[in-house]
Amino acid sequence: MLKIAHLMVKRHHKTIIHDLNVEIPPASCTLFCGDDTSGVKELLACLAGIQEYQSGQILWEEQPLQKMDVAYASGNGSVFIEQTILAYGKFLAQFYSAFSLTIYQQLLHTCHLDAAKRIYRLQREERAILEIIAAYATQCPLMIFDDVVSSLSLKKWQFLWQECLTLGHVPTLLLGCKEEHEAKAMADNIFYLQDGQLLVQPLAKETMTEEMAKHEDIQEKNIQEPSGRLFDEKGWDDDETDW
């Protein structure tokens, strides 16, 4: 279990997160929703160990969370775990086992992605897929995707993550994105942050639609279930991508 207790984070002498208390069960998918002033980005950066916090505790299985337990992707084409493991579209395999590299290559093949393609030539969607694949290949128990899944449609995110999970490792997953994104349909729990504080308690998936309709006038029940093929012989289906 991931436990965040009495967390306070400041930025430029201004308190961004105020006395935050959250418990996240293992092997779950939790979504943190909020805009750029909500504190979501700062929270996820603190959990990844790339930003300091002023007070409080971040515990993993009742012990201080270690950087080596977290794979963090922030939507810019890189993945971090203690050090950068994905940079400029290249998986730095020297930091990881042959097993991790095998997983990475297998998922690339599944998604018909060319790892040799230079990062600046990758579309945003391709970069997001590359980050997710590289993070999963590390087999870290905690994975954080900040503003990554927002680049993917719900169908593609569902398919990609299910492909990852079929390889056996089920991490605790934290997502950060804007409130309007379809990723809500994949989350076991949702936290809404505003000015560094929780607006509501975590929502179970079965109550999510009702709450979102009340707070945002969004009817998640109208989201269509995935249908047909997600991939064709050349990669993603033509009607789902501009590739």
Q: Which residue has the higher pLDDT, 56 or 124?
A: 56
DSSP state of 13: T
- Domains identified in the chain, total number: 1
Q: Is residue 241 part of a domain?
A: no
Phi, psi of 126 (to 5 degrees): -65, -40
d(CA 103, CA 133): 8
Q: Is residue 240 part of a domain?
A: no
154-165 and 98-110 helices cross at what angle (nearest 10)?
A: 140
Q: What angle do CA 211, 230, 102 make, to 5 degrees?
A: 105
Q: Is residue 8 part of a domain?
A: yes
pLDDT, tens digit, 9 for 90 and up, residues 141-186: 999 999 898 888 889 998 999 999 999 999 999 999 876 667 788 7
pLDDT, tens digit, 9 for 90 and up, residues 100-114: 888 988 998 998 887
Residue reference for tokens 């929780």 = 198
What's the gap between Cα 58 and its chain centre?
A: 18
Strand, helix or coil for residue 142: strand
Q: Is residue 229 part of a domain?
A: no
Q: Is residue 196 part of a domain?
A: yes
State the greatest distance between any 2 C-alpha atoms of the chain, in Å, as a whole number: 53
- And the tokens for 15? 């308190």
Q: Is residue 232 part of a domain?
A: no
H or E element at residue 214:
helix 205-216
pLDDT for residue 186: 79
pLDDT, tens digit, 9 for 90 and up, residues 37-85: 899 999 999 999 989 999 999 999 999 999 889 999 988 777 887 766 6
pLDDT, tens digit, 9 for 90 and up, residues 205-240: 554 444 444 444 433 443 333 333 344 444 455 445
pTM strictly above 0.75 = yes
Q: Is residue 35 part of a domain?
A: yes
Q: Give the dihedral of Cα atoms 168, 43, 75, 184; nearest 10 deg.
A: 60
pLDDT, tens digit, 9 for 90 and up, residues 6-49: 999 988 888 999 999 999 999 999 999 998 889 999 999 999 99
CATH of the domain at 82: 3.40.50.300
Domain assignment of residue 124, given as a range: 2-224
Percentage with pLDDT > 90 across the chain: 42
